[in-house]
Amino acid sequence: MKGDFVKTYFKLAMIILSMYFLYISIPILKEKVNTDTNITVAWRYTSNWEKNELNQLCFRGKKIEYGNNDFVIILLGDSQVESTCTDFEHIAENCLQKSINHKNIKVFSLGAGGYGTDQQFLALKEYYSKGYKADLVLLWFTPENDVINNIFPVHDLKWKTQKPTFTIKDNILSTPQYFDIDTFYSNLPAPGYSFIPYDKTKKYTNILKTEESTKEMQVSGLETGHTYLSMFLSPKPKIIDYGIDLTKKLLSEVNNLCRENHSDFYVFYNKLKSEEIQFSYGQFNYSGEYLASEEKGSVILFDKVLWDNTKEILSEVNNFDIVLDDVNNNILMGNEDRHLNNLGNNRAMQLLSKILFKKSLLKKEENHG
């Protein structure tokens, strides 16, 4: 009897102990699910588009429908893919579809304004998880702001909506998380530059005059580096070194995700033909037409820095540029902001289509007539 009692007691103790370990492990398992699989994009569009302009994942675009023999292209990106300055007929996917002109090639969109590579990765991951296929994924990279969008939890300082943000710790990319904004900013590398008023009695090199058209724009992120101007600065801010490393790791994740799902992956971007002049702002706590840096006597803001940074970011993925040579005439851009308009999207997607055929990523439809 005593032996039976001991056995029964032992079994009961083991059951209680097992239940205890299961109980304490639940928060850990739940946290892992939340960070690894259930975290998704924070928003899917930036305007109140009609419902018939949204696909099944609520991104601006036509319904995702294709046949077994169709070749599927995914346009992955930000406001350029959302096409915030065009009517629905001229969104990027429709312009590319028209330019390709092949009944068995289908183009669909995953992208929204304010996205960086991080949100694009999460959107593509969701797309595959729904059982959709992609033969070719084309990421429309925005050199001016994608790195900044990747670094910070909000698109800019005016946005209220926070997105899940990836970070780097011990050279390893973290799972995306939501952060306390103040704590997040305090833990980031300092921008690595300081500004002083322009002194006309000093001799500066490569100081660029503020363009009249940009003088009215206020810059409020220079103290943290949370401004797309950081991508144009030389010497390179420390925050941009971090952002470039982060973006390269995110692109590697997108590349690996495509490979796992048997998709080819390419990155493309608009490269504007312009002079080596960009933006200097005289309204950031200083009077006058110039900003100057204490470190080397000047802050240089021009295209070459941006393109050098872009080249470094894309060095480990397949990529190409699209040169829109008349964009500075404002012909291809919207009146309300600087996104491509109907004509601009047509021009860009025509150029993209030609490159895809030239690189043999697509085959022209055979004419049996």
pTM for the complete prediction? 0.79
363 lies in some domain: no
Clarify whether residues 14 and 91 are in a common domain.
no
369 lies in some domain: no
Clarify whether residues 3 and 138 are in a common domain.
no
Clarify whether residues 34 and 97 are in a common domain.
no
58 lies in some domain: yes
Token representation of residue 126: 């969701």
Clarify whether residues 25 and 99 are in a common domain.
no
Clarify whether residues 114 and 196 are in a common domain.
yes
Clarify whether residues 24 and 114 are in a common domain.
no
365 lies in some domain: no
Token representation of residue 159: 């946005």
Clarify whether residues 130 and 3 are in a common domain.
no
Clarify whether residues 75 and 139 are in a common domain.
yes
Number of domains in the chain: 2
Count other C-beta atoms under 10 Å from residue 196's C-beta: 13
367 lies in some domain: no
Clarify whether residues 104 and 115 are in a common domain.
yes
194: domain CATH number is: 3.40.50.1110
pLDDT the model gives residue 22: 31
Write the CA distances from 216 to 88, 144, 198, 226, 264, integer angstroms: 32, 19, 18, 19, 43
Clarify whether residues 255 and 214 are in a common domain.
yes
pLDDT the model gives residue 14: 42
Clarify whether residues 136 and 149 are in a common domain.
yes
Count other C-beta atoms under 10 Å from residue 324's C-beta: 19
Q: Which residues span the domain enclosing 12?
A: 1-38
Clarify whether residues 30 and 43 are in a common domain.
no
Tens of each residue's pLDDT in the chain, 369 residues: 545 544 444 443 443 333 333 333 322 222 222 334 578 999 999 888 999 999 999 999 999 999 999 999 999 999 999 999 999 999 999 999 999 999 999 999 999 999 999 999 999 999 999 999 999 999 999 998 999 999 999 887 677 789 999 999 899 999 999 988 888 888 887 776 554 444 556 544 433 333 333 333 334 566 677 877 778 776 677 889 999 999 999 999 999 999 999 999 999 998 765 433 333 333 232 222 334 343 443 344 456 778 889 999 999 999 998 877 654 456 777 666 778 899 999 999 999 999 999 999 998 876 644
